[in-house]
A and B are shown apart, each in its own frame.
Chain A
Amino acid sequence: MSGNDIRTVAILGGTVAGWMAAAALARRLPHHRYRIMVVQTDRDGDGLGDFGATLTALPSIAPFHESIGIDENLLLRATRGSFALGVAFSGWAASETTHFLPFGAVGAPLGPVAFHQLLTRLRREGRAVRAADYSIAAIAAQASRFARPSTDGHGVLSHYAYGLHLDTSAYLRAMRTTAEAHGAHVAAALFRRAIMDASGGIAALELENGDSLPALLFVDATGTDARLCGEALGVGFQSWRQWLPCDHATARRIFDQSDPSPFGHVEAQSAGWQNGTPLVGEAGRLLCWSSAFGNAPSCAGSNEPVHGMAFENGRRITPWHRNCVAIGAAACVLEPLHPVGLHLVQSALARLVALFPDTAEAPVEAAEYNRMTINEMESARDFLIAQYVTNGRVGEPFWDAVRSIASPDRLFYKLALFAGGGRMPMYDDEVFEEADWIALLDAQGVRPRRHDALAGIVPIERIEQHLTRLREAIIAGVKTMPSHAEYLRRAHAAPPRGAAA
């Protein structure tokens, strides 16, 4: 960097993803050297694919909020938000089944033996055991209780995590307020077009008022429009339709005065799925389906015809191309069967800060950024595919078809190893941890053919005693929690915990 010139980072898209980028970069880049400028287009939305008017954040959102100085209690109040201890799934393993995927630990190892290996041993002995019965997050969710986990690092009360349910437009406003408080600016006029430079990179953004905004780096946060990386730069989009056949979605909000549950609910439908995201006083409903398997199904008991928005799961070939970094749905579209959208954005931003370029062309930085980002996106994709290909709904055309889909190689290998001896190989930069993969497959009814050798030498009584103790500790822990509604009322009323948003 030469001299004292101020360099501009131009973020295109006044979306949730765009304002998250503005907040994180304005917080991290020194103001005497960098200016963060958000340019809006004629569309806002979440920039994550616009699947509905609510968002679910994975537990990883907490450190992100902390890093940009957002107070969680204030945020919950502003977004009519609620806490999430996991997600309930019904109709996936078979049409009448329900299972719960908790945020946090399931069970506990017995000495060197992993918990799921103990379950396989017990099942081989003919005992029926349900993994979620040994998860404090699942039991608390079932009882509609909630408290933030203990931070002392031991005891069941520190063995879980929580995410958040948020109203999208309120979250967008909170993110914008935060970004502006950190010094991000918003351009005086809307985006008109990108001006290219001679080498094929982006030179500037031309605005509706005729101004042009040159920048060191451009961030494309325009969602599926991909106005910069797709439209201007022509970076290709790799479709994942062969693995994830849902291609339409429709959302609505419903008035709901009942106490919000501390978990979302995803129900398998005849040719896709429907979810419910609980907020205070209302709930979001989203229906995702595959148009190749008949007409749009009806949504939540309504008989109105549903048209819905078309979408295609997939990713940008190179999320960082020339001097433009695509984030959110401009980089990767994934139906929110598992809520990874916000996670992918915050993770991309952390990586961008670590690899921040100081020249318009930064091929080394871009290569390393793309390597990790693509690993991450594909690991999230595979988690979704795993849930489809292991479904147990036999005799329904859509579900039979997705069950016979050939998985991508890495997923195929994971599934084969798990089906054999309950092993789960892990790769670089995965979004979900080993425990999440095991919990998913166990809940889907995938049963390893055998347990490992160590699980075979523990006396069965010791395993049962271990499970009984776990269960008692979990139930005692859950009894100390207030109801979710009560905890939420206190959180909404609480004074700021740290720096105000």
Chain B
Amino acid sequence: MSSVPAFTDIDSARDILMSNLEGEALAEPRLLRFATGKRRSQWLGNVVAIGLAAGFLEPLESTSIHLIQLAITKLIDLLPLDGWDPLDAAEFNRSMAVEYERVRDFLILHYCATERTDTAFWNHCRTMSLPESLVYKMAAFRERGVVVKYREGMFLEPSWLAVYYGQRVEPGRINPLVEALPIDEVASRAEAMASAFRAAAEAMPDHADYLHNLCGQTGAVRA
């Protein structure tokens, strides 16, 4: 990938972090440098990379633990019994690469689908070139409201919808069969759904109370 200009520097980043703290800082900020990406081969010879050794995707959507779990599951599934079979590694690498790329596309969506024009950083994100796989997915949603589905991939339709709508990517048109439904009926069904969810949420205890009841007395976190 071509080089990306630096949009800020360490001191400004530190200032932003410190000035946005809601309480007292407990320690000095620790500087992390990272390059997002993944190993070309996650399993090579008799070495399997898991977690950050395999790839780094910034924790915008908390995907690291999921990718670790996936790698462990696949490794157990493909664990060599006696001797090495390069096919085991090939299958592990193939299926993990698919997972990483699907997460990557999902993360990129948060950046590229911005309307912000206020900084060089957001201007870059808004206009950078995208992987073809993401271009295809976004075109299907932008033009027709279709969330492209695959057999593999961590994020399912509700997650994609949440980010599309959250980033104000609206479908240009919808399924005409939906358009043919009486609008009043659609509205009243949506309202019924929303009020059922509101009622369910209101019936729940306060989050802090729930946590306290769950682990407050023993002080231990339950699995």
A→B interface (CB under 8 Å): 1, 28-30, 32-34, 112, 353-358, 362, 364-365, 367-368, 416-417, 420-421, 423, 425-430, 450-454, 456
6 residue pairs, one from A and one from B, having the closest CB atoms: A358-B176, A453-B79, A30-B180, A364-B143, A33-B180, A428-B151
| A33: chain B residues within 8 A (beta carbon) | 176, 180
> Is B66 engaged at the interface, CB distance under 8 Å to the other chain?
no
Task: Tell me if B82 is interfacial: C-beta within 8 Å of chain A.
Answer: yes
B175 lies within 8 A of A356 (CB):
yes
Whether B179 is near chain A, meaning CB under 8 Å from some CB there, is yes
- Which of A354, A356, A423 is the one whose CB lies under 8 Å from B77? A423
By a CB distance below 8 angstroms, the chain B residues around A28 are 177
**In the docked arrangement, what's the CA distance between A74 and B176, Å?**
34
Name the distance in Å between A51's Cβ and chain B's nearest Cβ: 30
Bound Cα distance A362, B180 (Å): 18
Q: How far is the CA of A420 from the CA of B84 in the complex (A)?
A: 11
Which among B86-94, B105-113, B117-125 touches the partner chain? B86-94
27 A-B pairs (CB sep. < 8 Å): A1-B176, A1-B179, A30-B181, A33-B176, A33-B180, A112-B76, A355-B146, A355-B175, A356-B175, A358-B176, A364-B139, A368-B140, A368-B148, A416-B87, A421-B78, A421-B88, A423-B77, A423-B78, A423-B91, A425-B91, A426-B151, A427-B151, A428-B151, A451-B81, A452-B77, A452-B81, A456-B81
Chain B contact surface mostly: helix
Which residues on A sit within 8 Å (CB–CB) of B81? 421, 450-453, 456
CB distance from A134 to the nearest CB of B (A): 22
- Bound Cα distance from A120 to B82, whole angstroms: 15
For the complex, give the distance between the alpha carbons of A141 and B15 in Å: 74
A454–B139 CA distance with the chains assembled, in angstroms: 44
A453 near B80 with CB under 8 A, answer: yes
Q: Chain A residues near B82 (CB, 8 Å)?
A: 450
User: C-beta contact mask, B189-223 vs A, less than 8 Å → 1, else 0?
Assistant: 00000000000000000000000000000000000
Bound Cα distance from A323 to B166, whole angstroms: 33
| Known contacts A30-B180, A355-B146; A425/B94 CB under 8 A | yes
Contact at A364–B79, with CB atoms within 8 Å?
no
Contact A32 B94 (CB under 8 A): no
**Provided the pairs A420-B87, A420-B88 are in contact, do residues A353 and B177 lie with their beta carbons within 8 angstroms?**
yes
Distance, CA A430 to CA B152, complexed state (A)? 13
Residue of B80, B85, B148, B177 most packed against chain A (CB within 10 A): B177
Is A358 a contact of B76 with CB atoms below 8 Å? no
- The reply to whether B146 and A364 contact each other, CB–CB distance below 8 Å, is yes
With most chain A CB atoms within 10 A of its CB, the pick from B76, B81, B95, B179 is: B81
Residues of B within 8 A of A430 (CB): 151
With A353-B177, A417-B91 already in contact, 6 other A-B pairs whose C-beta atoms are closer than 8 Å: A354-B146, A365-B144, A416-B87, A423-B77, A426-B151, A428-B150
B168 interface residue per 8 A CB criterion: no
Q: How far is the CA of A416 from the CA of B94 in the complex (A)?
A: 14
Which chain B residues lie closer than 8 Å to A429 at the CB level? 151
Q: How large is the interface on B (under 10, 10 to 19, 20 to 34, 35 or more residues)?
A: 20 to 34
Give B contacts to A, CB under 8 Å: 76-82, 85, 87-88, 91, 94-95, 136, 139-140, 143-144, 146, 148, 150-151, 173, 175-177, 179-181
Contact A417 B87 (CB under 8 A): yes
For residue A357, which residues in chain B have a CB less than 8 angstroms away from its CB? Answer: 176
Assembly CA distance A421 to B78 (angstroms): 8
Q: How far is the CB of B65 from chain A (nearest CB, A)?
A: 20
A residues near B91, Cβ cutoff 8 Å: 417, 423, 425
- Nearest chain-A residue to B177 (Cβ)? A356
A residues near B150, Cβ cutoff 8 Å: 428
Report the Cα distance A327→B143, complex, angstroms: 25
- Bound-complex Cα distance A367 to B173 (A): 16
- Cβ B177 vs Cβ A30 within 8 A: yes
- CB pair A356–B139 under 8 Å, yes or no, is no
B175 touches A453 (CB 8 A): no
Q: How far is the CA of A33 from the CA of B182 in the complex (A)?
A: 12
When chains A and B are docked, how far (Å) is the Cα of A32 from the Cα of B85?
61
Q: Inside 8 A of B136's CB, which chain A residues have their CB?
A: 367
Are B151 and A421 closer than 8 Å at their CB atoms? no
Name B174's closest neighbour in chain A (CB-CB): A358
Q: Which residues of B contact A368 (CB under 8 A)?
A: 140, 146, 148
CA distance A350 to B205 in the complex (A): 42
Q: Contacts of A417 on B, CB cut-off 8 Å?
A: 87, 91
Q: How far is the CA of A427 from the CA of B94 in the complex (A)?
A: 11
Write the chain A residue with the least CB distance to B76.
A454
Q: Which A residues are CB-close (under 8 A) to B143?
A: 364
A114: shortest Cβ distance to chain B, in Å?
Answer: 9
Cα distance A1–B173 when bound, in Å? Answer: 10
B144-A355 in contact (CB<8A): yes
Q: Check A453 against B140 for contact (C-beta < 8 Å).
A: no
B88 nearest CB neighbor, chain A only: A421
Please, which residues of chain A bring their CB within 8 A of the CB of B80? 453
Decide if B180 touches A354 in the complex (CB within 8 Å). no
**Whole-angstrom distance from the CB of A370 to the nearest CB of chain B?**
12
Per the bound structure, the CA–CA distance linking A1 and B180 in Å amounts to: 9
Residues in A whose Cβ lies below 8 Å from that of B176: 1, 33, 356-358
Cβ contact of A29, chosen from B139, B173, B177, cutoff 8 A: B177
Say whether B76 contacts A453, CB under 8 Å.
yes
Across the two chains, which residue of chain B brings its CB closest to A372?
B149
Chain A residues in 8 Å Cβ range of B146? 354-355, 364-365, 368
A454 to B: closest C-beta gap in Å: 7
Cα A357 to Cα B173 in complex, Å, equals 10
Question: With a CB–CB cut-off of 8 A, which chain A residues contact B85?
Answer: 420-421
**Once the chains are docked, how many angstroms separate the CA of A1 from the CA of B177?**
10
B173 x A358 contact (CB < 8 A) = yes
Cα A4 to Cα B10 with chains together (Å): 61
Query: Which chain A residue lies CB-closest to B182?
Result: A30
Q: Is the CB of A32 within 8 A of B180?
A: yes
B144 touches A364 (CB 8 A): yes
CA distance A356 to B146 in the complex (A): 11
Q: Chain A: which residue is nearest B79 at the CB level?
A: A453
Smallest CB separation, B106 vs chain A (Å): 17
Which residue on chain A has the smallest CB distance to residue B172? A364
User: CA–CA, A147 to B177, complex, Å?
Assistant: 38
The CA of A423 and the CA of B85, in the complex, are separated in Å by 12
What B residues does A420 contact at CB under 8 A? 85, 87-88
Across the two chains, which residue of chain B brings its CB closest to A357?
Answer: B176
